[in-house]
Amino acid sequence: AAPVCIIAPISSWAAAVSGFAGEGENGLALFIRAIPFNFYALFTIIFMFALVFMKFEYGEMSKYEKAVQIMNEPADDEDDIQGKGTVFDLVFPIATLIVFCTLGMIYSGGFFTPLIEGEAEGEMAANPAFHNFIEAFANSDASIGLVLGSFAALIITLIVYGIRKVLSFKACMLCIPDGFKAMVPAILILSLAWTLKAMTDSLGAADYVAGVVAGSAQGFKNFLPAIIFIIACFLAFATGTSWGTFGILIPICIAIFPVGDVLRIISISACMAGAVCGDHCSPISDTTIMASAGAQCDHVKHVATQLPYAISMAVISFLAYIVAGFTHSLGTVPSCLISFAFGIAALAGFLIVMKNRVKK
């Protein structure tokens, strides 16, 4: 789930990352440009589908899979669930949330606001009444758009559930406080991350690191994306939060590289990818804790089975960032294609070798 969140423009993760952008810079546009270089997230998603289709596991997970095959216990009888819930009641709120969050974001970007005469002649020619969709999406305020979209989706879902008699009004109202409680850790993490960012800014940490890099790091400048990825991994692992890692490293990446530099985009992507990787490996991460709790499995065993997969993708991503660092001078698109192709080739080779090893 985390790799999907970190490459989804319409998400609270995107809003958090966008908030750390430099002054006068479009944070959402910066986030979108960084998506193709988020190798850990992209490779992890591809990796999971490959494991499913190739039908094998390795590491601690393979031991538990073999144990299940040996036991071969029949499935427990399903509980007699009383209610009228269907798949529609699961899909509808999610689809409604996506639609209204998208509408909320372009609304905050001025898409539905009539253009002032002479404001943008090019846009007026293309659309004489309203702002351009892409321009509105790029200029949107993700925090406002997500709040408006979530609130609209909540109201509509409550109405639909009431009409279909899936949940009573009282049951729906009891669910709302539980939702607020579930968001408290995320709100605290984000608030503390902003506090830490403000503190490091006041101490001049970003300026100091930028000066050190400018003065002595020219020799390994091409290795910086890979180095940032590793630092983000250990930082997120130690703290158990990817959002806090964003708050520490992204402002430093922005201070080191000038606007328009390809390494700026690659380094920010490396920071986000490393933060998610460290989050996957950390036993104190909130996402890892929720995953084991949701699956109702032992937390330590969940971490042990997940760790080999996360480390494997981390190594391949690290190598891809080295390639991206050395090919950045070719431009954004060529560098992305070359490094991504290298990563896919490394991933394919790794899967073939591991499958043969598991068979033996």
> pLDDT (tens digit, 9 = 90+) per residue, 108-141?
877 777 655 444 444 444 444 445 766 777 677 7
The per-residue pLDDT for 184 is 77
Q: Which residue has the tokens 């009573």?
A: 168
Q: How far from the centroid of its chain's Cα atoms is residue 172's Cα?
A: 29
Tell me how far apart the alpha carbons of residues 255 and 199 are, in angstroms, rounded to a whole number: 15
Higher per-residue pLDDT: 82 or 240:
240
Q: Print burial letters for 327-357: b (CB count within 10 Å at least 16), e (below 16).
A: bbeeeeeebbebbbebbbebbeebbeebbee
Predicted TM-score (pTM) above 0.85: no
pLDDT at position 360, please? Answer: 77
143/136 Cα distance (integer angstroms): 15
With H, G, I as helix, E, B as strand and everything else as coil, classify residue 21: coil
Give the residue, 212 or 307, on which the prediction is more confident: 307
Query: Which of 336, 333, 310 has its CA nearest to residue 324?
Result: 336
Both tokens of residue 360? 């033996």
Predicted confidence at residue 127, as pLDDT, reads: 46
What is the rounded average pLDDT of the residues 166-185? 82
What was the pLDDT predicted at 152?
93
What pLDDT sits at residue 87?
Answer: 86
pLDDT computed for residue 342 by the predictor: 92
- Give residue-wise pLDDT tens across range 227-265: 889 888 888 887 777 777 777 788 777 777 777 778 888
